[in-house]
Amino acid sequence: MPKFAANLTMLFKELPELDRFDAAAEAGFDAVEVLFPYDMQANEILSALGRNNLSLELINCPPPNYTGGARGFAAVPESRDRFRHDFKRTLRYAEALGARLVHIMAGPARGPEARETFVDNLRWASDFAQKQKLTIEPINDIDMPGYFLNDFDLAAEILDEVAAPNLALQFDTYHAHRIHGDIMACWDKHAHQVGHIQVGGIPDRHEPAGGDFDYPAFFKMLDDTGYAGVVSAEYFPSGKTTESGLGWLGLRSV
C-alpha cells in the first residue's frame, strides 16, 4: 500500500498548527506536508515531527510574503532576483526541517520570456541545491488564474529541457483532472517523471473517495507498479472536522 502523508496546510485546520502533527499521527499518517512553514519556529516543528515519528515530505517555495500578490516568481522575468533570494530562504528551512522535497512555484506569467525564465531559474536552483530534491507542479487555471505552469505536457517539456537529476514532476490528481480530464491517461504519459503524488476528490477536491475517480484502483496500481514515493492527501475536508472524513484511508487495503 502507498505511504500516505497529510497536507497540514489543508487538513486538520480546526486545530492550531502545531497540534495538527499530533492529529495526523493519531489518524495513521506516516508523513506530512506543510506548504508554508515559515511562520512557525523550526525547533517547534522538529519537536512535533519527532514526538510523532513523522517525516516532512514537502514545503513550498517561495515563502508566503506575497499578501494579496502572486504565488511564486520562478517564471516571472522581472522577479528573477526575488526568486533566487526566496529560494535560498526556503532551502534553509528545508535543510533545518529535513524536508524531502521543495516545490518551486512558477507564479503568474505567459509567453516565451516566461518559459525561458522558468527554465533558467530551475537550472540555477537545481545546481545551487544539488542535494535537495525539487518538484514543479502544473496548477489549473480555474483555481489559480494566470499561473504559468498550467499544463502537464508543458511541465514534461521543461523537465526534459532542464534535465536535472534532482528535479521531478509533482502529480496532483485533482489538477490533472481539471487540466486534462482523463487522470489515468495523464498518469500513463508522465509517470516516468513523477517524484511526488497528491490526491483530492474528483470533482470537488474533498476526500479522495467516491466521486468520479476510482481511487482504490489508483492506489492498487501504484502498488502493482512499484511506486516508492509518498501519496499526499491534499484536499478540503467535507465535514466539520478532518477526522470525520478519514474513512477513505481504509482504501489502502483494497
Which is nearest to 23 in space by CA: 237, 252, 218, 253?
A: 237
Q: CA 26, CA 191: separation in Å to the nearest integer?
A: 31
Each residue of 103-118: b (16+ CB within 10 Å) or e?
bbbbbbbeeeebbebb
Choose, from 116, 137, 207, 243, the residue flagged as catalytic.
137
Residue that has been written with the C-alpha cell 508554508 in this structure: 36
Residues belonging to the chain: 254
Q: How far is CA 2 from CA 23, 197, 240, 243, 250, in A?
A: 20, 10, 27, 20, 12
Q: Exposed (0-12), middle (13-18) or buried (19+): which is 238, by Cβ within 10 Å?
A: middle
Q: CA 185, CA 252: separation in Å to the nearest integer?
A: 22
Contact 153, 128 (CB under 8 A): no
Catalytic, 157? Answer no
Residue 246 DSSP class: G
| Region for 9 from its dihedrals, namely left if φ exceeds 0, alpha if ψ lies in -120 to 50, beta otherwise | alpha
Choose, from 33, 57, 207, 234, the residue flagged as catalytic.
234
Contact 232, 6 (CB under 8 A): yes
Q: Among all residues, which ones are annotated catalytic?
A: 137, 234
